[in-house]
Chains A and B, each alone.
Chain A
Amino acid sequence: MSDSTPHGMHEGPAVGQDEWVARHAERRIMRQGPLGDLETRLRRVPWWAWLVLFIAVFSLLPVVESSGYVRQVAFDTVLYMLLALGLNVVVGWGGLLDLGYVAFYGIGAYAYALLASPHYGIHLPFFLAIPAVTLIGALVGFLLGLPSWRLTGDYLAIVTLFFLQLFQTIATNASSITGGPFGILNVDPLGAFGHNLAPQHEGVFAVSYLYVALLVFAIVFVALRLLNHSRTGRAWRSLREDPLAAEAMGMPVNRLKLMSFAFGSAVAALTGTLYASLNGSVFPLTFYFVLLITVYTMVILGGSGSQAGVVAGAIIIGPLLELLRDGSKSRVIFFVALVLALGLASSRSRRLALVALSTLVLGFVLHAIAGGIDSDWVAGEHQGGFAGVVDYWVISPAHLARWIPPVSYIGVIVAVLVCTMLRGRWRLVALVPTLYLAAFVWENVMLSKPEPARYIVLGLVLIALMILRPNGLLGERRVEIV
């Protein structure tokens, strides 16, 4: 989704814009040949066509797959997409590190639950409840944003993180209002005048909610895009790039910060209503640190600042986390990711093939040796994807001695770190045992504990992205003027 300039503006940069900066896109080296041609054509497709196409494809999903599970995961992914869009406003556009973001999601869910459940006997129709909750989210975001006019980045981060902790404290302790740890049950599904949109049809996730969520997503996406291309959006950009210069130019810095906070919070609260109305219950722990890190990884992976990017991030991370729960799928993902990473790391395909081949050979040799010494060392069971191949390649002892997991795990970390320090041929040589050790650890240590393993992957993705590609998949590279 390129930021297309309006027609008639191609001749020169807008007033007040640096020409070198304005034209940086034009100086990119375009690819030649059919691929380059395709790229140029694709770039000409307007953003809204992409959006329609995307939603069309997404809405095909429940037609192809009738399983409630797939629909539920798809719905959760749309919620993630919405959350990522909202966070993008604060982090990507406003440039503020908001670590209390998921608290607003929680506030939205709780507010909806209080306005539409037997808890207080209030049953607002959705067309009143949703705007009300969104406003509440914006208002609380505004209030929390107030300290930000005295605080720079890190201080704000800690205040918002504490706010998240506070939200947890209130949600679990103010039992008379929030139901405490029991949560609020029997929340109304979306509805008005006694007609409700049932969340389940004979227990199976109702497809209508997926479409409602997609509709909300489309509206939020378009609204935010318009916002980003308005005066406010441009002001945010300048604020993020150089707050000092922006202030000197007479921009209302504080008001702008507050606005980005309020908009992000409103989107999160809106998403919360969808969550509460579908699940029919809200509990405090849903809105906590793990979710925060998940949404951050989505935004950073996709590219903070780019709407299409953060949506892509959500689509990758959401289902990935779900797939990693399942041992056999998670094995497939691991090996695919390994090959992909290798492909990205080395530009020359011959070297890549060499490394891959040596790793394969090393595996079979080690496996044969280990099996020859003691058959117990290779007697571990594998099930699911690639199991046949893996059976002959990765050593997996029938019983892991207690020292093996920590030693091999720390070993693989050290090996990876060493690889990053080596250069040239030595790196290739070191890569082979590292890869094999990684496969060993994945098979023997991580597959059996999917929960920490999933989050270790998230943590690693965050660190690696910040170092290797801070602009993510689709984010705009910052223009540095030296």
Chain B
Amino acid sequence: MKKAIALAIAVLTTSVVAASAQGSQTVAAKAAAGYSCSKTITLPFITPITGGAGFLGAEQMSWAKYAVKTLAPGLGLKVKLVGEDTPVEQGATPANAVAQKVIGDSSVLALLGPSTSGDVAATAKVFYSAHLAHISPSATRTDFTQGATKEEYPTFFRDVPGDYIQGPTDANFMIKNLHVKKVVIMDFQEPYSLGLASSVDSILKKAGVSTIRLSAPNTTTDYSAYVTKVPGDADIVFFPTQKPGDAQTFAQQLIEQGKKAKVFGGDGSNDATQFKQPGSYVSNFAPDITGIAADAKLIAGWKKDNPGKSVGSFGPPSYGATQILLNAIKIACTKGHGTATRQSVLQNVKKVKIKNWILGGSFKWSTKSNDPLNAKFYIFQIQSNGSYKLVG
């Protein structure tokens, strides 16, 4: 018996020592080591595929999949897209595990996502240490690319404009085009809406518009009590939800209680099938891509792979992000004569320019930050037939 215990303790000590000594040279090695471009490259996409925000991840995945399928062969790359699910219900815990999985895989040269700003905040350090470039098609939190905090996210990129553009665009449209006097601003106690709401709030206040702030739990479904608090003379209710159906409910309940205010939604509520109350406004980081002639073939192809699905606002930027990454990998491969490293892919991300950008025009990176150059927001008004009309 005593022997067994002694043995166990010996094993314990050795393993602790061995594991500590072994350290983690492996990853440093992985970042520097070349990966042959003729082998299959794994492209992870960290996004909520299931759970409450599952619709977002599913849409993003379908477009990224389509991009890999149509673009990778042309670039001479073999790419396997892997969805890494991070349901929002569980906070950042799944993202942490997934990040470890991703950096340990030597066939990963760069990745897509994380899609939510919360997961970016939780994992950016790990990706930075592993020299992995990650492009998010939907994390719009300002801190990541602007101000002093951007130092903490050197390997983070996004191909959509951040909240620091959306907020001012929306606020200025309200001031200049709608001549608002009184605006109610909602937030949903989650990062996306809080960031936007504060940004719009401060600009409106500076312009002398009186604002009323209301805050609802993200689980709210019945907004009756909130509608009651909207003054009869309010012009606009700014409603930066990520659930288009809720914007619709709010608009209907405003009518039910005889309030004249119109709902103004952010990019999260841009969905013509769910948010369709005439007279409401929606802002988005892209003009409706179904209206871009150059994208017609692309959309037709995607629809063939995804029968019965409609084009939402989260998908096309994922296509774009995938396109950028594939091109960056291609450049790295060419420069490295058939082998690429994480470091070389990272260095080449910002060299990518795309002529026919899916969101219209051409794509270039900003030289000052890891944001797209000259990205802007578009504002639509919902017409009586339910269609979105570009108004600003």
> Across the interface, which residues of A come within 8 angstroms of B4, CB to CB?
49, 53
Contacting residue for B1 out of A49, A71, A280, CB 8 A: A49
For the complex formed, measure the closest distance between the CB of A3 and the CB atoms of chain B, giving whole angstroms: 19
B19 touches A59 (CB 8 A): yes
Residue A451 is within 8 A (CB to CB) of chain B in the complex: yes
Contact yes or no, A68 B24, CB < 8 A: yes
> Which residues of A lie under 8 Å from residue B194 when comparing CB positions?
180-182
B-chain residues with CB within 8 Å of residue A76 when the two chains form the complex? 93, 97
* Residues of A close to B92: CB separation below 8 A: 183, 279, 281, 283, 286
B100 neighbours in A (Cβ, 8 Å): 67-69, 71-72, 204-205
- B51 interface contact, C-beta 8 A: yes
Give chain A residues whose Cβ lies under 8 Å from the Cβ of B217: 169, 172
B50 → chain A closest CB, angstroms: 3
Q: Does chain A have a CB within 8 A of B101?
A: yes
* CB-CB contacts below 8 Å: B180-195 with A: 189-191, 194
Could you say which of A180, A201, A207, A281 contacts B122, with CB atoms under 8 Å apart? A281
With A76-B93, A173-B215 as given contacts, are A67 and B8 in contact (CB-CB < 8 Å)?
Answer: no
Q: How far is the CB of A106 from chain B (nearest CB, A)?
A: 10
* Tier of interface size on chain A: 35 or more
Contact, CB under 8 Å: A211 / B97: no
A60 touches B15 (CB 8 A): yes
1/0 contact string of B108-143 vs chain A (CB within 8 Å) = 000000000010011001111110100000000000
Determine whether the beta carbon of B49 is less than 8 Å from that of A53.
no
Contacts of A177 in B (CB 8 A): none
Interchain CB contact under 8 A, A53 and B22: no
Which of A56, A69, A287, A451 is within 8 Å of B49, CB to CB? A451
Instruction: Judge if A290 is at the interface, Cβ distance under 8 Å.
Output: yes
Q: Shortest beta-carbon distance, A413 to chain B, in Å?
A: 20
A457 smallest CB distance to B (angstroms): 14
Per-residue interface assignment for chain B, residues 218 to 243, with 1 indicating a CB less than 8 Å from any chain A CB and 0 otherwise = 10000000000000000000000000
- A152 interfacial by beta-carbon distance below 8 Å: no
B87 contacts the other chain (CB 8 A): yes
**A290-B90, A450-B85 are known contacts. Are A281 and B121 too (CB-CB below 8 A)?**
yes
CA distance A60 to B24 in the complex (A): 16
Pairwise interchain contact B19-A62, C-beta atoms closer than 8 A: yes
Chain A residue nearest to B97 in the complex (CB): A72
Residue of A nearest to B193 (CB): A181
* Interface set, chain B 1-48, CB cutoff 8 A to A: 1, 4-5, 8-9, 11-12, 15-16, 18-20, 22-24, 26-28, 31
A38 within 8 A of B: no
CA distance A185 to B191 in the complex (A): 13
Residue of A nearest to B190 (CB): A181
Cβ of A119 within 8 Å of any chain B Cβ, yes or no, is no
Report the minimum CB–CB distance from B148 to chain A (whole Å).
Answer: 13
User: Given that A56-B8, A66-B24, A183-B118 are known contacts, is A72 also in contact with B50, CB under 8 Å in the complex?
Assistant: no
CB distance from A124 to the nearest CB of B (A): 22
Complex Cα distance A439/B51, Å?
24
- Mark B344-376 against chain A: 1 for CB-CB distance below 8 A, else 0: 000000000000000000000000000000000
Known interface pairs A63-B22, A286-B91. Does A56 touch B9 (Cβ–Cβ under 8 Å)? Answer: yes
User: At the interface, yes or no: B325 with Cβ under 8 Å from chain A?
Assistant: no
Q: Tell me the dominant secondary structure on chain A's binding face.
A: helix
Is the pair A451, B103 in contact by a Cβ cutoff of 8 Å?
no
| Inter-subunit contact A68/B15 (CB<8 Å) | no
Alpha-carbon distance A63/B130, docked complex (angstroms): 21
CB of B54 closer than 8 Å to a CB of A = yes
B37–chain A nearest beta-carbon distance, Å: 23
A68 interface neighbour in B8, B103, B190, B218, Cβ under 8 Å: B103
Q: Does B249 contact A (CB under 8 A)?
A: no
Interface mask (A45-68 → B, CB under 8 Å = 1, otherwise 0):
100010011011101101100111
Complexed CA–CA distance, A76 and B98 (Å): 12
CA distance A227 to B379 in the complex (A): 65
A291 contacts B by Cβ under 8 Å: yes
Interface string of B41-66 (1 = CB under 8 A from A): 00000000111001000000000000
Interface residues of A in 99-153 (CB under 8 A from B): none
- Verify if B89 is at the interface (C-beta below 8 Å from A): yes
A73 within 8 A of partner (CB): yes
Q: Are B12 and A68 closer than 8 Å at their CB atoms?
A: no
Closest CB in chain B relative to A178 CB, distance in Å: 11
Residues on A with C-beta less than 8 A from B118 are: 181-183, 283
Considering the complex, which residues of chain B in the window 155-197 have a beta carbon less than 8 Å from any beta carbon of chain A? 189-191, 194
Q: Are A52 and B5 in contact (CB under 8 A)?
A: yes
- Report the minimum CB–CB distance from B236 to chain A (whole Å): 24
Query: Cβ of A377 < 8 Å from any Cβ of B?
Result: no
| A203 engages B129 (CB within 8 Å) | yes
CB neighbours (8 Å) of A451 from chain B are: 49-51, 54, 85, 87
The reply on B392 being an interface residue by CB < 8 A is: no
Contact, CB under 8 Å: A204 / B97: no
A450 to chain B, nearest CB (A): 7
CB-CB < 8 A to B128: which residues of A?
A: 203
Interface status of B104 (Cβ within 8 A of chain A):
yes
Which residues of chain A (272-308) have a CB below 8 Å from chain B?
279-281, 283-288, 290-291
Contact B8 A201 (CB under 8 A): no
What's the least CB distance linking B133 to chain A, in Å? 13
Q: Is the CB of B103 within 8 A of A204?
A: yes
A194-213 CB contacts (< 8 Å) to partner B: 200-208, 211
User: Does chain B have a CB within 8 A of A237?
Assistant: no
Known: A60-B15, A68-B104, A286-B93. A207 touches B26 (CB 8 A): no
C-alpha gap A201/B125 in the complex (Å): 11
CA distance A26 to B190 in the complex (A): 58
A368 to chain B, nearest CB (A): 29
- Are B12 and A283 in contact, CB atoms less than 8 angstroms apart? no
Q: Shortest 6 CB-CB distances between A and B: which pairs?
A: A451-B50, A286-B91, A203-B129, A203-B130, A69-B101, A68-B100
Beyond A206-B24, A207-B22, A451-B51, 15 additional contacts (C-beta under 8 Å) are A56-B8, A56-B9, A69-B101, A72-B96, A201-B24, A205-B100, A279-B92, A279-B93, A284-B91, A285-B90, A288-B89, A290-B89, A325-B85, A450-B85, A452-B50
6 contacts between A and B (CB under 8 A): A52-B12, A60-B11, A62-B15, A181-B189, A285-B91, A451-B49
